[in-house]
Amino acid sequence: MPWRMAASSTLSPSPSTSKTTPEGSTVTLNVIVLPLPAPKRIIVHDFATEKKPVNKATIIGYGDIGARVARRCLAEGWQLAALTRSPGRVGELQAQGIRALTGDLDTLDAEQMAGWPLAGGTLFWFAPPPAAGLQDSRIARVLASLSRTNLPQRIVLISTTAVYGDAQGQLIDEQAPLQPGTERGQRRLDAEQHLVEACERLAMEYVILRVAGIYGPGRLPLERLARGMAVLTAADSPAANRIHADDLADICFAAAQYRGSHHVFNVSDGHPTTMCDYFCRVARLAGLPEPEQVPRSEAKQRLSPGLLDFLQESKVIANRLMLEELGVRLRYPHLEQGLAAMAGEGEI
């Protein structure tokens, strides 16, 4: 196995990490540790004693996951609104029974948000941060513009496991230190902190979902495989955690109805493999050549910056709390099952 699970989840941040491969060679990885702001005090709600949110929701970030969550909400008879930046999508949303809200997250203000149907419901925040920098100015803008007379009761935020940074293959639960090693992870941590601060100030509930890599129909690396992309060798590949898009949508819907006492959940299927294994499995099912495998010494010359960003970190994400508290039964607890289901539906 190209990575090892440690018995402890206690991390010791270091500017470099050594990893021993099965062949006995040692590879040293440089880990970027970004300066973090001072820890914020976290408000703790007891959801069980508070008013249950009404069956209505607003989705900010109506992409693939937003659409999947919307279908679950509508199937349960929820009233639903969604924000779109494009006036051309208004008719599409309305045809599905969704109230269309128009606006740009980079320019929204309190006046534009005044008519949003937020009061007493759930706000799903699925919108990504800006593509660069260390802050999520979008969620900060919207939270600062909320009116006390039109507050959601609960906000469900999709974050990422990148907020933990590199854990050298260790098992990571929700109590692990937050030490993002990339700007991408820092932006997501900034979003979490803005959310906690706003919920404390305005007495709203929140659930943060720290999500592993998402796969599913329309989210597979087929184009990159067809172009002949390369991947790290199996021996050099760090642990990679994933969740199927349909399972993530189920988890988001469960988080909106959760009545327990926890606020942060890791989201993964609990069975990590490696990036190399993932790309090779997809290639075989799609009838494409398996990608060339290159050693880490050639990674900077052969791999894309985006892929290198993910390969800087290795951790195994624990999902026990998600399974026990949210009560979700995963449709695809193994990557093999998720990919096989897509192949059977002709989605690969």
| CA distance between the termini of the chain | 27
Q: What share of the chain in percent tops pLDDT 90?
A: 78
Span 67-97, pLDDT tens digits:
999 999 999 999 999 999 999 999 999 999 9
Q: Checking DSSP bridges between strand 16-20 and strand 26-30, what pairing results, if any?
A: antiparallel
pLDDT digits (tens, 9 = 90+) for 5-53: 333 333 334 444 444 444 444 444 444 444 444 434 334 445 554 556 6
Token code pair at residue 261 = 């006492």
Contacts of 83 (CB under 8 A, 6+ apart): 58, 59, 60, 61, 62, 101, 102, 103, 105
Give the whole-angstrom CA distance, residue 39 versus residue 43: 13
Whether the CA torsion 129, 130, 134, 139 is positive or negative: it is negative
Mean pLDDT for 256-281 is 96
3-class SS at 154?
A: strand
pLDDT tens, residue by residue, 188-209: 999 999 999 999 999 999 999 9
- Mean pLDDT taken over the chain: 88
Half-sphere exposure for 46 (CA within 13 Å, toward CB): 2
Task: Locate 246 and state its tokens.
Answer: 């349909």
CA distance 114 to 32: 41
Q: How confident is the model at residue 312 (pLDDT cuts 50, 70, 90)?
A: confident
Going from N- to C-terminal start, the domains of the chain cover 48-217+242-270+315-336
Looking at domain 48-217+242-270+315-336, its CATH superfamily turns out to be NAD(P)-binding Rossmann-like Domain (3.40.50.720)
